[in-house]
Amino acid sequence: MYIVAIAWLYVVLLAAVSDTTVVGGVLTFVFWGVGPLGLFLWLVGTPARHRHASKVVCGEKTGANDSADPGVKQ
């Protein structure tokens, strides 16, 4: 998914650079690149945020170190 986001930003950056004015280039990059991409990533990431929130509410441990006995070192 991130490769598509990077490719989209690259295309929008090239379109913004080819714009005739600096203000037009910045507005092109913001309104055609950063804004829609941020909205898309936020909407696509919603299920993952809901799963994480339900794990936190249920009291499940999250993280890289999920061992049965945290006091035992191997």
Residue among 36, 31, 2 nearest 16 (CA) = 31
In tens, the pLDDT along 27-47 reads 999 999 999 999 988 888 888
In the predicted model, what is the mean pLDDT of the chain? Answer: 83
Stronger pLDDT, 12 or 71, i.e. the higher one: 12
Domain enclosing residue 22, as ranges? 2-58
Asked if the structure places residue 24 within a domain, the reply is: yes
| The residue to which tokens 């994480």 are assigned | 52
pTM recorded for the entire structure: 0.62
| 65 inside domain | no
Torsion angle, CA of 16/20/23/26, rounded to 10 degrees? 0
Q: Which is more confident, 26 or 70?
A: 26
Total number of domains in the chain: 1
As a residue count, the chain comes to: 74
Q: In this structure, are residues 2 and 44 in contact, taking their beta carbons and an 8 Å threshold?
A: no
**In this predicted structure, what is the pLDDT of residue 53?**
79
Does residue 43 lie within any of the structural domains? Answer: yes
Other C-beta atoms closer than 10 Å to the C-beta of 33 total: 19
Highest mean pLDDT among 50-54, 60-64, 65-69: 50-54
